[in-house]
């Protein structure tokens, strides 16, 4: 049996799609014949990734420079995508940020930046896409990138844990409300992943050792490990799955 063939010609929107996990997710969809739109703030990184998408697959791909915290822009992006592609079949809310600080040092600006990016934008992108799907009477998949820290606490991540815990609850709430419209809403919760975005923090050897000691499989995942879970939730294999969060944490939260 060949899996994921149903993703061919699907229109997929990936926020934070120019780097790291988001980039790998975008490329994974492209290789399966999907049309992929990536959203991010850095024009250069977006254009570089768009070139890779065009090389990887023959679909109609697009890069959009935008700040996910600009709520009015979200409405414009969704409207433009529907106009250009006809619909949005799959939304991957991947954009996220962290500002590691001891809790007593977190500022109001830090808190707002993390919660707005990691939770508020997830809701409003989901709302805009969900509204389109409901109005058009179309089924769809929404996949949110949560975190193992949606379930456990960790040092210097009070705001981050709060935002990602919110993502899991938001996923459940939207799944309950939109199930009757044929919209599946799920999440993937990775542990720390080896990307160019995490390379800096792992220069701290003590921090790296602590992280590795908590992962039962003895190593950190690659972006492709996260993409696999996303593809599953986006495909017909997961048509009977909604309101769930798949942990891709190497066993961190099993203890």
Active-site residue set: 160
The 10 Å Cβ neighbour count of residue 214 is 18
Cβ neighbors of 177 (< 8 A, separation 6 or more) are none
Strands (E), 76-228: 90-93, 140-145, 183-190
- Report the candidate in 146, 176, 177 with the shortest Cα–Cα distance to residue 162: 146
Structure tokens at 4: 């994921």
Please count the CA atoms within 13 angstroms of the CA of 14 that sit on its side-chain side: 33
Cβ neighbors of 168 (< 8 A, separation 6 or more) are 146, 150, 151, 187, 189, 245
Please count the CA atoms within 13 angstroms of the CA of 116 that sit on its side-chain side: 11
* Integer Cα distance of 238 and 105 in angstroms: 42
For residues 115-138, one letter each, b for 16 or more C-beta atoms within 10 angstroms of the residue's C-beta and e for the rest, the string is: bbbbbbbbbbbbebbbebbeeeee
3-state secondary structure of 75: helix
């Amino acid at each position: 049996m060949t899996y994921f063939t149903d993703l061919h010609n699907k229109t997929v929107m990936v926020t934070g799609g120019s780097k790291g996990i988001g980039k790998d997710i975008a490329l994974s969809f492209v290789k399966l014949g999907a049309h992929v739109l990536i959203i991010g703030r850095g024009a250069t990184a977006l254009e570089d990734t768009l070139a890779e998408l065009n090389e990887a697959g023959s679909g109609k791909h697009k890069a959009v420079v935008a700040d996910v915290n600009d709520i009015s822009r979200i409405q414009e992006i969704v409207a433009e995508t529907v106009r250009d592609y006809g619909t949005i079949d799959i939304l991957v809310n991947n954009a996220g940020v962290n500002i590691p600080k001891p809790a007593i040092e977190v500022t109001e600006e830090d808190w707002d930046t993390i919660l707005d990016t990691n939770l508020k934008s997830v809701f409003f992108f989901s709302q805009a896409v969900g509204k389109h799907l409901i109005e058009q009477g179309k089924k769809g998949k929404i996949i949110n990138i949560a975190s193992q820290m949606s379930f456990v606490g960790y040092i210097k991540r009070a705001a981050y844990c709060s935002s990602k815990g919110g993502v899991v609850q938001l996923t459940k709430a939207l799944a309950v409300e939109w199930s009757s419209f044929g919209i599946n809403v799920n999440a993937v919760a990775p542990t720390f992943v080896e990307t160019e975005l995490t390379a800096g923090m792992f220069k701290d050897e003590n921090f790296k050792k602590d992280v590795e000691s908590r992962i039962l499989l003895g190593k950190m995942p690659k972006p492709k490990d996260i993409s696999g879970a996303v593809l599953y939730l986006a495909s017909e294999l997961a048509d009977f799955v909604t309101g769930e969060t798949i942990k891709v944490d190497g066993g961190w939260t099993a203890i």
